Amino acid sequence: MLKRLLVAVLGLALLTGASGVGLQHYYKGRIFRAVDSVPDPAKAPFAVEVATIETADGLPLKSWWHPPAAGARTVLYLHGNYRNVGYYTRGVRPLVEAGYGVLMLDYRGYGGNPGTPSDEGLVQDAEAALDWLAAKGIAPETVVVYGYSLGTGVAVPLAAERDLAGVVLAAPFASIAEMGYAQYPHWFVDLLLDDRFDSIDHIAAVREPVLIFHGDADTTVPVTQSARLAAAGGSNIRRVVIPGASHGWDLFEPRGNALVLDFLKALAD
């Protein structure tokens, strides 16, 4: 009887462990929806140079660079969790047309880049991007960091550590772990989720002007997430809710793009 009980317990433990590993892999795949294909710069709707950004842990990341017009600021663009930089030129094009320089960072594991994405790894990538700009004579304190969706979880801790000109957060979350808590027990999420992206733990340390905009019809990142994030920060944060906008391009066209351009102009003035 005891032997059967021990076998049953061991079998349950192995099954639970295997299920946990499988679920970890599943959720990591949902957070980071990278593709291996290398984006073609010739297909970009504006001129780009392929930049190689070396991270502190030795990864050469291929990214896209469009230099600024004379006297214009530079924006470090941190894209969402899907595909690679080639997919996000639609969101960057208004910045380029307004004369701003844009460094479109492709993260580790994205766009054919080496490495495996993680919350800490992506922040390292963004730090390396700022250092790459500094080496070109573009000081970090003159750079505006613009994160969309997953990119906001990179932009917030980056801004908490580095001096910047400003921060734009499109459809940001307070914490990916917190979004998981709405569906599963806390212990279950904490056990399985390695990449938490807890922006809410860093936002109070961000001193630069911050623009947050979010659609109230967003079914990917609930609009309540950006409300919690803004409430945890300071008076330097302006949050705008766009009625009827989802998590897609209707968040930007035309209302979100106008907000971003006005924010950049106000920084320049």
At 28-67, the pLDDT tens digits run 666 888 887 899 999 999 999 999 999 999 999 999 999 9
**Two tokens, residue 27:** 């959720």
Asked if residue 122 and residue 75 are part of one domain, the reply reads yes
Examine residue 37 and state whether it is found in any structural domain, yes or no: no
Residue 54 in any domain: the answer is yes
How many distinct structural domains can be found in the chain?
Answer: 2
Are residues 56 and 26 both part of a single domain? no
**DSSP bridge pairs for 65:** 49, 103
H/E segment holding residue 54: strand 49-54
What residues contact residue 32 under an 8 Å CB cut-off, 6+ apart? 81, 109, 117, 150, 195
Residue 69: pLDDT over 90:
yes
State the residue for tokens 């993680």: 118
Confidence (pLDDT) at 28: 62
Q: What is the CATH number of the domain that holds 61?
A: 3.40.50.1820
What is the 3 state secondary structure string of 216-235?
Answer: CCCCCCCHHHHHHHHHHCCC
For residues 177 and 193, is the Cβ–Cβ distance under 8 A? yes
What percentage of the chain exceeds 90 in pLDDT?
A: 77
- DSSP E strands: which ranges in 149-260? 166-170, 210-215, 237-242
Structural domain span for residue 224: 42-268
Scan for tokens 């700022």, then name that residue. 130
pLDDT (tens digit per residue) in 168-220 = 999 999 998 887 776 777 677 777 778 888 999 999 999 999 999 999 999 99
Tell me, yes or no, whether 92 and 142 share the same domain: yes
d(CA 67, CA 69): 7
- In order of 83, 92, 102, 228, the CA distances from 87 in angstroms are 7, 10, 15, 29
Distance CA 29, CA 218 (A): 21
Which 8-state DSSP code applies to residue 69?
A: P
Q: Is residue 165 assigned to a domain?
A: yes
Shared-domain flag, residues 114 and 16? no
Higher pLDDT: 157 or 195? It is 157
